[in-house]
């Protein structure tokens, strides 16, 4: 697995000056290091296909971890399998998503098994805007976390406000 921090540093828990400066700047935190260590352990033990993956970031909330990775030819089944293995290792609900620039695809991965009906842009009177992700009202019961938590995760990933609307 390709990591932004040195593999030896992640495994040992002792960071070199370069890796420590990335942590000090706030680009990565303790959860990132825990997830990277768990991914390396999975790669060594039973998931050798993780060699082709690139780790980007982990976003945390009190009820859900979202791990952003990229890999060539990744299926949703593989991502779900990695998420299940990480959930077992970290004792927390984990969702692994593939990095993409499409909000609809990203929301589909984060909100699964709920289906995304569409994504709209809402322009506000002050000139700012936010995205609205529309899902079915019946799908609200199968969301992986509370709507507010998922809105926060999607907003942090994309860097602009995202709202989820059940219709």
pLDDT in tens, 83-128: 999 999 888 899 999 998 888 999 999 998 889 999 999 888 998 8
CATH class of 100-167: alpha beta
Name the residue among 110, 98, 106, 99 with its Cα closest to residue 147: 110
Contacts of 115 (CB under 8 A, 6+ apart): 108, 135, 136, 139
Q: pLDDT digits over 42-65, tens only?
A: 988 888 888 889 999 999 888 889
Contacts of 39 (CB under 8 A, 6+ apart): 1, 50, 53, 55, 82, 86
Contacts of 88 (CB under 8 A, 6+ apart): none
Matching fold, domains 1-98 and 100-167: yes
Q: Give pLDDT, residue 17.
A: 92
Map out the domains of the chain as residue ranges. 1-98, 100-167
Q: pLDDT digits over 127-140, tens only?
A: 888 999 999 999 88
Name the residue among 56, 59, 32 with its Cα closest to residue 151: 59
CATH of domain 1-98: 3.30.300
Q: Give pLDDT, residue 159.
A: 87
Q: Give pLDDT, residue 48.
A: 80
Is 119:67 a contact under the CB 8 Å cutoff? no
Q: At 26, phi and psi to the nearest 5?
A: 90, 10
Q: Give pLDDT, residue 24.
A: 92
């Amino acid at each position: 697995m390709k990591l932004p921090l040195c593999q030896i540093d992640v495994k040992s828990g002792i960071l070199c000056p370069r890796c420590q400066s990335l942590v000090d700047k706030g680009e990565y935190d303790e959860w990132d290091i825990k997830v990277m260590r768990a991914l390396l352990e999975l790669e060594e033990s039973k998931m050798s296909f993780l060699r082709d993956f690139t780790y980007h970031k982990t976003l945390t909330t009190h009820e859900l971890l979202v791990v952003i990775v990229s890999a060539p030819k990744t299926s949703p089944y593989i991502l779900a399998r990695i998420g299940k293995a990480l959930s077992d290792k970290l004792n927390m609900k984990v969702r692994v998503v593939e990095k993409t620039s499409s909000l609809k695809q990203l929301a589909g991965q984060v909100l699964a098994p709920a289906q995304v009906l569409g994504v709209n842009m809402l322009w506000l009177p002050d000139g700012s805007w936010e995205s609205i992700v529309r899902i079915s009202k019946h799908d609200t019961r199968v969301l992986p976390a509370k709507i507010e938590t998922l809105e926060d995760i999607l907003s942090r990933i994309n860097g602009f406000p995202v709202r989820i609307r059940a219709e």
